[in-house]
Amino acid sequence: MAGSASDAANNSKLDGVPVRNTGHYATIDTDRGEIVVELYASEAPKTVANFEKLSKDGFYDKLTFHRVEPGFVVQGGDPAGNGTGGPGYELPAEISPTEKHLRGTLAMARRGDQVNPDRKSSGSQFYICLAPAPFLDGQYTVFGGVVEGMNVVDQIKVGDHIKKVTLSSTLPS
């Protein structure tokens, strides 16, 4: 019911990233707690399929968040732990003109335009926006958003671990 206490609680968890009921969710268990993200398979099908495969294969388990820029992003998914690693491949860009970088947006990192004019995404490195970043709109593949646990994202420090990523077809309760 609109306007209920549970809606208010949900809205405070969303921080601008609405639930879309896609049927694709992931729980990122970290040293600081759990982050639940909704994955946008319709908008970025190859990126979501890759993230789900890597998650199922345990690729992200025990990796760290190697980059934290206060008021901007937290970034993880790099086996080298320094922003240079990945699974050995890049993904084609799935950049949507309608997807925005809001607080809680989940997107793929990539190399700069000068060495990556096709804007291919990293095969594994992702970031979560800590604040709106409209200057990134139309530049990176957005493939999801945090629907629960932004308070956890806000606490992440460089070196914090991703313990495990668990997938679900329903929003975890």
**Residues 75, 101, 73: CA angle, nearest 5 degrees:** 25
Q: Does residue 17 sit within a domain?
A: yes
Q: Does residue 12 sit within a domain?
A: yes
pLDDT band at 4 (very low <50, low <70, confident <90, very high): very low
pTM of the model: 0.91
141-153 residue pLDDT tens = 999 999 999 999 9
* pLDDT exceeds cutoff 70 at 88: yes
Q: Which domain holds residue 9?
A: 5-168
Residue 165's closest CA among 58, 80, 68, 81?
58
3-state secondary structure of 109: coil
- The DSSP secondary structure of 17-31, one letter per residue, reads ------S-EEEEEET
Residue 156, domain CATH: 2.40.100.10
Q: Does residue 72 sit within a domain?
A: yes
Q: Rounded distance, CA 45 to CA 40, Å?
A: 7
Mean pLDDT of 18-47: 96
Number of domains in the chain: 1
Question: What is the pLDDT at residue 15?
Answer: 54
pLDDT band at 51 (very low <50, low <70, confident <90, very high): very high
Question: What is the pLDDT at residue 173?
Answer: 76
Average pLDDT of the chain, as a whole number: 92
Q: Does residue 173 sit within a domain?
A: no
Q: Does residue 120 sit within a domain?
A: yes
Question: What is the pLDDT at residue 155?
Answer: 97
Q: Which residues pair with 105 in a beta bridge?
A: 145
What would the two tokens of residue 156 be? Answer: 């992440």
Question: What is the pLDDT at residue 16?
Answer: 52
**23-32, 123-132, 164-173: least confidently modelled range:** 164-173
Query: Which is more confidently placed, 54 or 15?
Result: 54
Query: Which is more confidently placed, 172 or 113?
Result: 113
Q: Which residues, other chains included, contact 119 with Cβ-Cβ below 8 Å and sequence gap of 6+?
A: 93, 95, 110, 113, 139, 140
* pLDDT exceeds cutoff 60 at 87: yes
Q: Rounded distance, CA 28 to CA 65, Å?
A: 12
Q: Above pLDDT 90, what percent of the chain?
A: 88
Cα distances from 142 to residues 50, 60, 95, 107, in angstroms, run: 13, 19, 7, 4
